[in-house]
Each structure stands twice: as structure tokens, then as C-alpha cells.
């Protein structure tokens, strides 16, 4: 095999080759399906029709043997779709207790979900309040964190300076910082 000849082929030739292979595959598949359709054994068709006739006879036991013998040739001559049990609707009372218990369980689950949602909302609001109360800037020195907390709570600069042991000017700066932050948030 000459690899140089294959190397000279482009993507267009490759695409044409793939399309040709797909067309051949479709033709072969179509011929096989057609052959299977024509080669279906006739005995299997009659076996299915006789099985359907036997099932219909079991469903209607009131028919006499003579009428069922007459029904078998009619079924073989003109096959009708059999009425199987799974094609019929279920009885009216079947499954009703199970359905009602499932409805009760769904209602119970909906109530539980509602109460859990209410609890989550309460916890979320509580968390927001706590966060708002303890909102101190991230870059505050640990030395001034108590001063910031007192300023957030509304303490004056003199009280903050006395309690935290810082200069009054520093306490006034902390109070001004908190006021500035409150006006920026609003």
C-alpha cells in the first residue's frame, strides 16, 4: 500500500469517502430489514392469532365450544387486535386507599416544608441583626475593636476613651468613623 498516495488526499476526499460508506451502510441495512420482513414465518403469525383467540375464549367463559370453534376461523381470516387486560382501565376502587394515604403524606410534607422555611427565615433575620450590631470594619486593629463596638452602640467619645484606655482624640476619630460609615450605608 502506498502511503504517499494516501497522504495526498485532502479533507474533501475523506468526507466524500465517509458519505459513500454511510450510503452503502444504509442500503445494506434497508435490504436486510426488507428481507426479514418477507422471511417472517407464517406459522408464527397463525400462532399469535390462535393465542389471541384462546385468550379471548378464556375471557368469555359463557361461550360454548361450538361458538369458540367458529370464532377461531374468523380470527384467522380477519385478525382483530385482542383486548388484553392491560389495555383496560383499572377498577374504580383499586388503589384508592393507597392514593389517599399518599395525599395525606404529601400534605404532611408540605406543612413540614412550610415550617422549615419559616424557621430559616427567622434564623436569617436574626443573623442579619447580629451582623448589623457587630459590624466592625475588617481592617480595625484589635486594640480599637472594643472602641468600635462601643461607638456602634452609640457611646460618646469620652466614655469610649475612659473605658478603652485610649486618648480622647482617638475616641473621637473612632466615633466619626462609625458615623461616616452609617451615612455611607444609608
Q: How many C-beta atoms lie closer than 10 Å to residue 152's C-beta?
A: 18
Residue 75: predicted pLDDT: 47
146-166 pLDDT per residue, tens: 888 899 999 999 999 998 889
d(CA 76, CA 53): 9
pTM: 0.28
31-46 pLDDT per residue, tens: 988 887 776 555 555 5
CA distances from 144 to 29, 132, 139 (A): 83, 18, 10
**Most distant CA atoms of the chain, gap in Å:** 118
CA distances from 41 to 35, 69, 75, 82, 101 (A): 12, 24, 18, 21, 51
167 φ/ψ sector (left φ>0, alpha ψ -120 to 50, else beta): beta
The 3-state secondary structure of 67-132, one letter per residue: HHHHHHHHHHHCCCCCCCHHHCCCCCCCCHHHHHHHHHHHHHHHHHHHHHHHHHHHHHHHHHHHHH
Residue 93: predicted pLDDT: 67
What are 34's three cell numbers? 426488507
Better-predicted residue by pLDDT, 99 or 136: 99
* Mean pLDDT, all residues of the chain: 77
Across 160-184, average pLDDT: 88
- At residue 144 the predicted structure's pLDDT band, cuts being 50, 70 and 90, is confident
Burial grade of 174 (CB within 10 A; 0-12, 13-18, 19 or more)? buried
4-36: burial string, b at 16+ Cβ within 10 Å, e else: eeeeeeeeeeeeeeeeeeeeeeeeeeeeeeeee
For the cut 70, the answer to whether the pLDDT of residue 90 exceeds it is no
For the cut 90, the answer to whether the pLDDT of residue 19 exceeds it is yes
93-107 pLDDT per residue, tens: 667 788 888 999 999
Amino acid at each position: 500500500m502506498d502511503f504517499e498516495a494516501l497522504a495526498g488526499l485532502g479533507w474533501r476526499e475523506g468526507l466524500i469517502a465517509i458519505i459513500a460508506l454511510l450510503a452503502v451502510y444504509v442500503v445494506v441495512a434497508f435490504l436486510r430489514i426488507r428481507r426479514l420482513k418477507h422471511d417472517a414465518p407464517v406459522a408464527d403469525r397463525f400462532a399469535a392469532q390462535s393465542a389471541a383467540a384462546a385468550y379471548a375464549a378464556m375471557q368469555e367463559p359463557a361461550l360454548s365450544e361450538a361458538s369458540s370453534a367458529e370464532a377461531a376461523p374468523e380470527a384467522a381470516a380477519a385478525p382483530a387486535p385482542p383486548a388484553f387486560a392491560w389495555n383496560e382501565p383499572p377498577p374504580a376502587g383499586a388503589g384508592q386507599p393507597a392514593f389517599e394515604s399518599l395525599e395525606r403524606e404529601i400534605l404532611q410534607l408540605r406543612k413540614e416544608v412550610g415550617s422549615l422555611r419559616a424557621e430559616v427565615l427567622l434564623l436569617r433575620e436574626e443573623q442579619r441583626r447580629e451582623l448589623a450590631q457587630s459590624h466592625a470594619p475588617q481592617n480595625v486593629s484589635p486594640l480599637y475593636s472594643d472602641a468600635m463596638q462601643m461607638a456602634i452602640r452609640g457611646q460618646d467619645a469620652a466614655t469610649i476613651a475612659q473605658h478603652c484606655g485610649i486618648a480622647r482624640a482617638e475616641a473621637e476619630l473612632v466615633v466619626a468613623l462609625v458615623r461616616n460609615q452609617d451615612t455611607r450605608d444609608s
